Every structure is written in C-alpha cells, then in structure tokens.
Amino acid sequence: MPEALVILLTTIFVNNFVTVQFLGLCPFMGASQKFDSAIGMAAATTFVLTLASAVSYLVQNYVLVPFDLEYLRIIVFIVIIASLVQFAEIVIRATQPLLHSILGVFIPLITTNCAVLGVALMNVHQAVSFVSAVLYGFGAALGFSLLLIMFAAIREQQPDENIPMAFRGTAINMVTAGLLSLAFMGFTGMG
Amino acid sequence: MLTGTLVLSLVGLICTGLLLIATRRFNPDDQEVITLILKELPQTQCAQCGYPGCRPYAEAIATEDAPINRCPPGGDNTIRALANLLGRQALPLDTAGGDGVVKIAQIRESECIGCTLCLPACPVDAIIGAPQMLHAIIGEACTGCELCIAPCPVDCIDMLPLEQPVVTPSTTALPCIHCGDCIPVCPKQLTPVQLYQQDQSLDVLASLRLADCIECGLCDRVCPSNIPLTNTFALAKQRLADREAVVLVAEQTEQRVNQHDARMLQAQSVTSKPDSSDDLLARLKGQL
C-alpha cells in the first residue's frame, strides 16, 4: 500500500507528465479554455490512460515478449489506444451528449496525446507488476487532470486581468504554463 | 515475420470486435433520433404523457418503443409528424393521465390577486398580466399543461374543457350582428357590442368606460363575426388618450396663467409704488 502511494505521488507531483516531462501539451493548451470542458477532458483522459496502461502492460508481457515481437510495440500500442479512445467516445456520446458536443474534436485527439503512448511505453521499463502499471497510468492521468483543471481555472480569470497587449493570447498562456512548470519543478527530489 | 503479422491482425480484430459490441450496446444513433423526436414535440414540458418532460418522452419513444400518441399539447399534428418520422402508424390521441378531454386553463377573475407568479410558469407565454392587475389567459395559446396551477397562491386557475374547437380569427370581419356574446366574457364588465357601435363618438365611449378595457382579447375570441374588437378598442383608447392629453395641456396652461396673474397681483401689492429702479435700489440697500 505505501508503495502504491509513492507511485501515485510520484506521477502526480514529482514526475508530472505535463510540467516535468512535457508530454500531452496539445490537449493541455487546447482543452483548457473552459473549466467545464477541462473537467470533461480530464475525465476522458483519465479513463483512456488508466485502461491503456493496463491493456498495454498485459499485451507487452503476455503477447509481445513471449512471441519475441517487441519491435511491434509502438504500432500495437497505438492500435490499442485508438480503440480505447473510440470506445470512450462512443460511451460519452451515448451517455453525455452535452459533454460530447463541448469536447468535440478533442476526444479523438486523445489518440495522439503523447502522454498516453508515453505512459504505455514507459511502463515497459518501469512497471514491475500489473497493479503498479495500472497505478502508474492512473497517477499520470490524475497529474494530467490536476494540471489541466488548474490551468483552465487560471485561464478563466484571464479576461479580468490587465494583460499587456503583446502578451495576450498564446503568449500569456505559455508564460503561465512555464510558471506552473517551474512550481512543479519544486517537487523534484521529494520522491 | 509471420507471427508478427498474425499477432497484429489478431489485436486489430479483437479491438474491432469490441468496438462493434460497444456501438451496438450504446448505439450513438439513438441520440440523433431522440433529437429529431424532441424537435417535433411542443416543448411544453407538461408531463401529460406520463414522462417527466419532453426529452424523457423522446428518449422513451426512441429506446423503449413508447406510444407516439401521448402528447395532448401537440395534438394530431405532432402525432402525424412523429408517425412520418418514425415510420409508425398515426394513432388517435391517447391522454394517459387525463380523461381524453382537451382542457385549457382559465382564471377566476374575482379571486386573482395579480401576483404575476403564474406568468413565468407558463411555458408558452399564454398568460398576460401585470403586478396588481387581473391576469388573463390567451385561450388560443394555452396548451393545457397545468403548469400554472401549482404556483398560484390562491388557486384561482381552473382547467376547463374546451367546449368548441378554437377558432383562429380570420382576417375578414363580418358586420356586427348585435348578438351580445362579447358582454359576458369581458373581465371588466364592459359592453363591447356598444363600444363597437359608438366607435366614432369619443364622449360616449368614455362614458362607457372604454379606458377600463384591458385588451385581453376575450371578446375577439367569442365574436361570431370575427370582428377585431380589441384592435378597434386599442385604437379608440389611443384617440381618447390623445384627446385627454390635449385637454390636460390646455388645463395646465390655464393654471399656469392664473398662477402667474395671481403672483403679479401679489407683487404689486407688496411694492406699493414701483416708481423707479433707483428707489428700489435704495430700499434694498436700506434693508442690507
């Protein structure tokens, strides 16, 4: 149990995928205009990331390694992730039509979220058991969600601020993301 | 190489199979059908179909095969549209909750306190009224959803069966036949038939309390000649108001003249001898 806690804390804070490893920046910037859509995106990504890390661990250890097919790793993982994303989209579309219309194109884009593939590939080297692989994926997803929601909350306040003309738009977002990243660097060495 | 191809194909096949099952299970096309059905429903959210609102009813039609003839506000038009949309047979209206009689709301005028609480409750804006004023229900617009009954603090709204099919007012009015049908429906106890006869003489109209007309449109609805009575009265009221405004301005002008005269008279008596400006100046200096 303490091991699980360590994995979660490490992936959420110390090795946060967005601010420390710089993965998954596309949805981080793209889906954070609104707080509500950020929460939906975070939930969808959490679902996909956790399942993807679990399935990819199983496929790696019980299919690819026994058949000596590790060179197929990336393409097999991408097929799995794409299917999972499609599955998530079907579920969201059927159960949450409103959320589906808000997220729109960002759900298929989870496929190309490099954090998902990144976690699956890192699990190959890092995870020692199935449980730790799932926890690793779940922790990474929580870290991503935390950052995405924080960033969306900050961006919602932006219109009230007197931002210099030259910094408006993407520039101030990049500066904000950089400051967030700097803050998260402070966790280094904790794990 | 062969194993690689096999494994990759197998993974692809398994994923495809799972996705197919998920598509069947969650059928995303349902949502589009539900949206289409929802567009046909009248959006009164009246729950007379036995479902809590229009969307739940649409979902029930799409997924649970609920009958399409449960919507009293929509009536035959909605049933026909739904039958076309879904390729089902158009059935006669089935009011599951009620007794099959189309009802519309009516306000008991003597008890209405003019609280305006029923106005926002009406989903089709069929109630007109203002604070402290008698409210009236536009019968043609009322869908009989009964949503106005709950908010009324004095329970003065009745659901009355619609005795005759609502006549849509035609644009061609026939001559007045003096039937007097408009007299009992007037909530302000006016005599619309007389008001319509005396249309030209403003003095008579004023004595018949034309200004009390609230333009509720009830007399229009009962008029067998389809005379646009309310419109006529509105125009006459405007002329009456214009005439009264002229009288008012004249009265005010006269009042101002009288006041001016009185003030001048008083000023004269105070300054008994307004001889010259020098005298006045000397007097002012003495006062200082």
pLDDT tens-place string over residues B224-273: 888 888 888 888 888 888 888 888 877 877 777 778 778 878 877 776 65
CB contact under 8 A, B7 and A67: yes
Question: What domain range is B159 assigned to?
Answer: 101-164
Distance, in Å, from the CA atom of A150 to the CA atom of A38, rounded to the nearest integer, reads 9
Q: Residue A47: its pLDDT value, please?
A: 86
Same domain, yes or no: B215 and B258: yes
Same domain, yes or no: B140 and B222: no
Taking the Cβ of residue B20 and every Cβ of chain A, the question of whether any pair is shorter than 8 Å is answered with: no
| CATH number reported for the structural domain that contains residue B68 in this entry | 1.10.15.40
On the question of pLDDT at B169 being above 50, the answer is: no
Across residues B145-160, what is the average pLDDT?
Answer: 85
Q: Residue B160: its pLDDT value, please?
A: 81
Same domain, yes or no: B203 and B261: yes
Which of the residue ranges A52-61, A70-79, B77-86, B167-176 would you say has the lowest mean pLDDT? B167-176
CB contact under 8 A, A79 and B12: yes
Same domain, yes or no: B203 and B217: yes
CB contact under 8 A, B26 and A69: no
Residue given tokens 């601010």 in the structure block: A19
Are B35 and B134 in contact by the 8 Å Cβ rule? The answer is no
The separation between CA B225 and the C-alpha centre of its own chain, rounded to angstroms, equals: 24
Count of residues in chain B: 288
Residue environment code for B225-237, b if the CB has 16+ CB neighbours within 10 A, otherwise e: ebbbbbebbeebb
B42-67 pLDDT, tens digit each: 777 666 777 777 878 888 888 777 88
| Sign of torsion over alpha carbons B188, B191, B193, B199 | negative
CB contact under 8 A, B28 and A64: no
Residue A165: pLDDT band with limits 50, 70, 90: confident
Residue B165: pLDDT band with limits 50, 70, 90: very low
CA distance A179 to chain B (A): 41
Q: Residue B280: its pLDDT value, please?
A: 65
When CB atoms are compared, the residue of A63, A68, A87 closest to B19 is A87
Same domain, yes or no: B86 and B110: no
Taking the Cβ of residue B7 and every Cβ of chain A, the question of whether any pair is shorter than 8 Å is answered with: yes
Residue in chain A lying closest to B3 (CA) = A67
A-chain residues near B18 (CB < 8 A): 83, 87
Q: Residue B167: its pLDDT value, please?
A: 44
At A15, list the tokens.
């090795």
Interface of A with B (CB under 8 A): 59, 63-64, 67-69, 71-72, 75-76, 79-80, 82-83, 86-87, 90-91, 93-95, 97
CB contact under 8 A, A87 and B3: no
Across residues A74-100, what is the average pLDDT?
Answer: 85
Residue B159: pLDDT band with limits 50, 70, 90: confident
- Asked if residue B284 belongs to a domain, the reply is no
On the question of pLDDT at B166 being above 50, the answer is: no
Distance, in Å, from the CA atom of A156 to the CA atom of B106, rounded to the nearest integer, reads 48
Q: Residue B277: its pLDDT value, please?
A: 64
Same domain, yes or no: B267 and B206: yes
- Asked if residue B70 belongs to a domain, the reply is yes
Residue in chain A lying closest to B5 (CA) = A72
- Our CA angle for A160, A164, A170, nearest 5°, is 80
CB contact under 8 A, A83 and B15: yes
Same domain, yes or no: B36 and B66: yes
When CB atoms are compared, the residue of B7, B22, B26 closest to A63 is B7
- Asked if residue B243 belongs to a domain, the reply is yes
On the question of pLDDT at B127 being above 80, the answer is: yes
Same domain, yes or no: B108 and B153: yes
Query: DSSP H helical segments within A60-113, as ranges?
Result: 73-95, 97-103, 106-109
Mean pLDDT of chain B, nearest integer? 79
| CATH number reported for the structural domain that contains residue B130 in this entry | 3.30.70.20
| CB contacts < 8 A (A, B) | 51
Which of the residue ranges A124-133, B2-11, B71-80 would you say has the lowest mean pLDDT? B71-80
Domain boundary among B96, B115, B141: B96
Q: Residue B279: its pLDDT value, please?
A: 67
When CB atoms are compared, the residue of B8, B16, B31 closest to A76 is B8
The DSSP code sequence of B188-201 is T---HHHHHHTTT-
Residue B200: pLDDT band with limits 50, 70, 90: low
CB contact under 8 A, B30 and A64: no
At B272, list the tokens.
């008994």
CA distance A71 to chain B (A): 9
CB contact under 8 A, A91 and B19: no
Q: Residue B16: its pLDDT value, please?
A: 92
Query: DSSP H helical segments within chain B, as ranges?
Result: 2-26, 29-40, 54-64, 75-86, 118-121, 182-185, 192-197, 202-207, 218-222, 229-270, 277-287
Same domain, yes or no: B128 and B186: no
On the question of pLDDT at B163 being above 90, the answer is: no
Domain boundary among B96, B129, B148: B96
pLDDT > 90 fraction of chain B, expressed in percent and rounded: 2
Q: Residue B93: its pLDDT value, please?
A: 75
Q: Residue B138: its pLDDT value, please?
A: 83
The DSSP code sequence of A111-126 is GG-HHHHHHHHHHHHH
Q: Which of A173-187, B117-131, B267-281 has the highest mean pLDDT?
A: A173-187
At A147, list the tokens.
């950052």
- Asked if residue B156 belongs to a domain, the reply is yes
Instruction: Give whole-number Cα distances, B100 to B69, B93, B96, B139, in Å.
Output: 12, 8, 8, 18
Are A187 and A14 in contact by the 8 Å Cβ rule? The answer is yes
Are B235 and B215 in contact by the 8 Å Cβ rule? The answer is no
Distance, in Å, from the CA atom of B94 to the CA atom of B87, rounded to the nearest integer, reads 19
On the question of pLDDT at B130 being above 70, the answer is: yes
In degrees and rounded to multiples of 5, residue B103 shows phi and psi of -120, 150
Same domain, yes or no: B260 and B197: yes
Count of residues in chain A: 191
CA distance B54 to chain A (A): 16
Q: How many domains does chain B have?
A: 3
Tell me which H or E stretch contains A175.
Answer: helix A170-185
If one compares B29 and A62, the residue with the highest pLDDT of the two is: A62
On the question of pLDDT at B176 being above 80, the answer is: yes
In degrees and rounded to multiples of 5, residue A68 shows phi and psi of 60, 45
Q: Residue A57: its pLDDT value, please?
A: 92
Residue given tokens 């700097």 in the structure block: A182
CB contact under 8 A, A80 and B3: no
Residue given tokens 């219109």 in the structure block: A159
Same domain, yes or no: B201 and B255: yes
CB contact under 8 A, B31 and A59: no
User: Is the confidence metric ipTM above 0.85 for this complex?
Assistant: no
Q: Which of A89-98, B180-189, B246-255 has the highest mean pLDDT?
A: B180-189
- Our CA angle for B222, B224, B230, nearest 5°, is 55
Across residues A37-54, what is the average pLDDT?
Answer: 88
In degrees and rounded to multiples of 5, residue A39 shows phi and psi of -65, -40
When CB atoms are compared, the residue of A83, A94, A95 closest to B18 is A83
Distance, in Å, from the CA atom of B86 to the CA atom of B186, rounded to the nearest integer, reads 45
Residue B168: pLDDT band with limits 50, 70, 90: very low
The angle that helices A130-157 and A2-9 make with each other, rounded to 10 degrees, is 40
Same domain, yes or no: B79 and B129: no
